[in-house]
């Protein structure tokens, strides 16, 4: 069955990348976005290989590298006074498999530039989906509040990429979003401060139950992401008032406000949650609408981008007549399993490493017991490939599995996008 249209609810990074993949393959796609613009609050910034692979398939990678950067320096773990606890040597990790850095706002702007050049993709701003209807067997429907009143939109499939508070997930499952919320709170800031002159390199974690933090270069021009632990339950203003003292405590050189330029500050609650299914009939869930994890280790959007890359292969397989609709049940099974068995435990462990007394951690935590391994470039290169297990190749589940591969589907997509652009 050729797909005549897919609707994506939510033009965040997951929704935009899915739209681009589908549009590149010649599938018409409508993005319904509640806001009047793309959300550039300081969230995702670092992408390991599974996410980079999907950005590459969407045709974004050369500009991601140009506008962002590829880390050249190993990450370190430090005490809050700056004492080095361990450093990971990434010198043997091939360039294209290293962490890529690009602030979410810039990734969204880039994706939007590409979408604007696709005649078969459209972002409809100020379209807030409020309810769904799948009583029709032949299509799915959503109702959106728009500047012209409530409007109904229909498509063969509707994908909820509408983030942590997903209306689509709530419409399917009510308030149930199984999992847990951490007792810890984080505050994410973007700041210009000369961390490099203190020898901390491009990325450092601070191990401390109260002042756990990430300090990482965000852009080549010296913008850093500083995310740190905070007391739960304060207002944004209270977090902002406490920020100078936090920076004095956690940043090298104990800077005062005159030493840096704060660009943004946003508090976030952190969760580990997974929806009970990522598919109900013609409705699908992906990325934060489907699952959440804490941001230490950069697995949130990474898992989301792998979801949408997988979902693209499933929908494209249906569109090309290479798969039937049951492949979407497999999408649900595989992506939930990847979250539950890899993303949730690994991201939880990433945060637990930071929440300890650093002296106890040095004695008892296997991460710090294995310091020789962290210093061994070949062992580190092997270690970082572990996260590739969150990937899955759905083209191998197509009917002609021996003849069809990701490369075939990529070639099809590229051929069609060239035709579309040629007709611009």
Ligand X SMILES: Cc1cc2nc3c(=O)[nH]c(=O)nc-3n(C[C@H](O)[C@H](O)[C@H](O)COP(=O)(O)OP(=O)(O)OC[C@H]3O[C@@H](n4cnc5c(N)ncnc54)[C@H](O)[C@@H]3O)c2cc1C
Residue 243 near ligand X by CB under 6 A = no
Collect contacts of 399-404 with beta carbons under 8 A, ≥24 apart.
399/322, 399/323, 400/322, 404/322
Q: Which C-beta is closer to ligand X: that of 112 or that of 375?
A: 112
Contact 158, 5 (CB under 8 A): no
Residue 33 near ligand X by CB under 6 A = yes
- Closest distance of CB 251 from ligand X, Å: 17
Q: Which of 3, 6, 9, 55 binds ligand X (CB under 6 A)?
A: 9
- Closest distance of CB 195 from ligand X, Å: 17
Residue 6 near ligand X by CB under 6 A = no
Residue 387 near ligand X by CB under 6 A = no
Q: Which C-beta is closer to ligand X: that of 47 or that of 239?
A: 47
The neighbour count for residue 261, using CB atoms within 10 Å, is 12
Contact 202, 73 (CB under 8 A): yes
Strand locations in 1-48, DSSP E? 6-9, 29-32, 46-47
- Closest distance of CB 305 from ligand X, Å: 7
Residue 320 near ligand X by CB under 6 A = no
- Closest distance of CB 103 from ligand X, Å: 9
- Closest distance of CB 231 from ligand X, Å: 17
Read out DSSP for 150-195?
Answer: EEEEEESEEEE---TT-HHHHHHHTT---EEEEEEEEEEEEEE---
Instruction: Name residues contacting ligand X, limited to 116-145 (CB under 6 A).
Output: 128-129
Closest CA to 356 of 364, 347, 348, 345: 364
Residue 58 near ligand X by CB under 6 A = no
Q: Give the Cα separation of 304 and 16 in Å (integer).
A: 12
Q: Which C-beta is closer to ligand X: that of 126 or that of 373?
A: 126
Read out DSSP for 253-302?
Answer: T---GGG-EEEEEEEEEEEEEE-S-SEETTEEE-GGGTEE--STTS-HHH
Contact 210, 356 (CB under 8 A): no
Residues 170-209: x where in contact with ligand X by CB under 6 A, - otherwise, as a string: ------------------x---------------------
Of the ranges 40-48, 198-206, 345-353, 402-410, which one interacts with ligand X (CB under 6 A)? 40-48
Please identify which residue in the block is written with the tokens 């435990």: 345
Task: Give the residues lining the site for ligand X (CB under 6 A).
Answer: 9-15, 32-35, 39, 43-47, 51, 104, 128-129, 161-163, 167, 188, 227, 268, 287-289, 295, 298-302, 304
């Amino acid at each position: 069955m050729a797909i005549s249209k897919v609707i994506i609810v939510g033009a965040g990074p997951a929704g935009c990348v899915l739209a681009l993949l589908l549009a590149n393959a010649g599938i018409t796609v409508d993005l319904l976005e509640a806001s009047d613009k793309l959300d550039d609050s300081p969230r995702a910034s670092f992408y390991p290989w599974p996410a980079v692979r999907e950005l590459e398939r969407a045709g974004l990678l050369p500009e991601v590298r140009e506008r962002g950067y590829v880390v050249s320096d190993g990450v370190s773990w430090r005490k809050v006074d700056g004492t080095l606890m361990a450093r990971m040597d990434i010198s043997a990790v091939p360039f294209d498999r290293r962490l890529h850095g690009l602030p979410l706002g810039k990734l969204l702007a880039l994706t939007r530039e590409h979408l604007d050049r696709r005649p078969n993709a459209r972002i409809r701003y100020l379209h807030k989906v409020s309810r769904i209807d799948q009583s029709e067997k032949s299509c799915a429907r959503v109702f959106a509040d728009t500047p012209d009143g409530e409007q109904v939109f229909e498509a063969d499939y509707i994908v909820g990429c509408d983030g942590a508070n997903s209306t689509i997930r709530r419409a399917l499952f009510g308030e149930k979003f199984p999992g847990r919320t951490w007792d810890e709170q984080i505050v994410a800031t973007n700041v210009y401060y000369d961390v490099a002159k203190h020898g901390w390199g491009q990325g450092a974690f601070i191990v401390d139950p109260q002042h756990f933090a990430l300090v990482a270069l965000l852009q080549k021009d010296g913008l850093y992401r500083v995310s740190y632990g905070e007391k739960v339950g304060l207002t944004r203003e209270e977090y902002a008032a406490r920020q100078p003292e936090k920076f004095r405590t956690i940043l090298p050189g104990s800077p005062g406000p005159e030493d840096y330029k704060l660009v943004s500050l946003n508090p976030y609650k952190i969760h580990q949650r997974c929806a009970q299914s990522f598919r109900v009939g013609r409705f699908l869930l992906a990325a934060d609408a489907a699952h959440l994890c804490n941001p230490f280790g950069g697995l949130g959007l990474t898992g989301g981008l792998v979801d949408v890359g997988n979902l693209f292969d499933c929908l494209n397989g249906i569109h090309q007549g290479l798969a039937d609709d049951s492949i979407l049940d497999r999408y649900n099974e595989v992506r939930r399993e990847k979250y539950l068995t890899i993303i949730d435990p690994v991201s939880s462990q990433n945060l637990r490493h930071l929440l300890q007394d650093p002296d106890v951690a040095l004695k008892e935590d296997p991460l710090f017991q294995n310091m020789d391994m962290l210093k061994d470039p070949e062992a580190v290169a092997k270690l970082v490939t572990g996260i590739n297990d969150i990937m899955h190749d759905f083209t191998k589940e197509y009917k002609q599995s021996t003849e069809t591969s990701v490369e075939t589907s990529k070639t099809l997509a590229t051929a069609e996008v060239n035709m579309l652009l040629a007709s611009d």
